Amino acid sequence: MTRIFIDADACPVKDEVYRVAGRHKLVTYVVSNSWMRLPQSLLIEQIVVDDGFDAADNWIAENVKAGDVVITSDIPLADKALQKSAVVLGPTGKAFTQQSIGMALAMRDLNSHLRQTGEIAGYNAAFSKKDRSQFLNVLENTLQKLQKGRSSFDK
């Protein structure tokens, strides 16, 4: 059965995941470095990991299985989850795929280098209502496809 893993420390769509996962009766793991208030539900489990670097990402990578869904904006975690045949969605609804992860990793490394050399500023675009809406649509469609047994999410 499909499970959902949220890389929760900086995830702006946790409430949306809870609602959609609840409709589909899916267990959701909320993985973070610190305690956070969660809705009361037998389907939502909070996992608080050590405060170490990438501890939440490592826990998710170790526990995710094929057919699970991972919600993260962390590109290295997305890569690890894809290697285990999980479905990976960013909080804007963008799916990470085997075809796109290489470019995403390369762009992450390039942007990191450009920030270190002062060529670009280190900020992200603001999260919008459109992003939230798109995420909800993609998550719902993804879960429906998984329930119907489809394994291809590439467009």
Tell me which residue range forms the domain holding 13: 4-98+128-147
Assigned domain for 111 exists? no
Q: What number of helices (H) and strands (E) belong to the chain? A: 5, 6
Length reported for the chain: 155
Q: How confident is the model at residue 150 (pLDDT cuts 50, 70, 90)?
A: low
Assigned domain for 137 exists? yes
Assigned domain for 85 exists? yes
Per the structure, how many domains does the chain have?
1
**pLDDT tens track for 43-101:** 999 999 988 888 999 999 999 999 999 999 888 999 999 999 999 999 999 999 877 76
DSSP for 22-62, written as a single string: HHHT--EEEEESS-------TTEEEEE--SSTTHHHHHHHH
96 neighbors 89 (Cβ within 8 angstroms):
yes
More confident residue, 155 or 134: 134
Assigned domain for 18 exists? yes
Assigned domain for 113 exists? no
- Residue 11, amino acid: C
Assigned domain for 45 exists? yes
What is the predicted pLDDT for the residue at 151?
47
Q: How confident is the model at residue 116 (pLDDT cuts 50, 70, 90)?
A: confident
* pTM for the predicted model, two decimal places: 0.83
Structure tokens at 67: 């057919």
Instruction: Name the burial class of residue 119, with classes exposed (0-12), middle (13-18) and buried (19+) by CB atoms within 10 angstroms of its CB.
Output: exposed
Assigned domain for 103 exists? no
Assigned domain for 120 exists? no
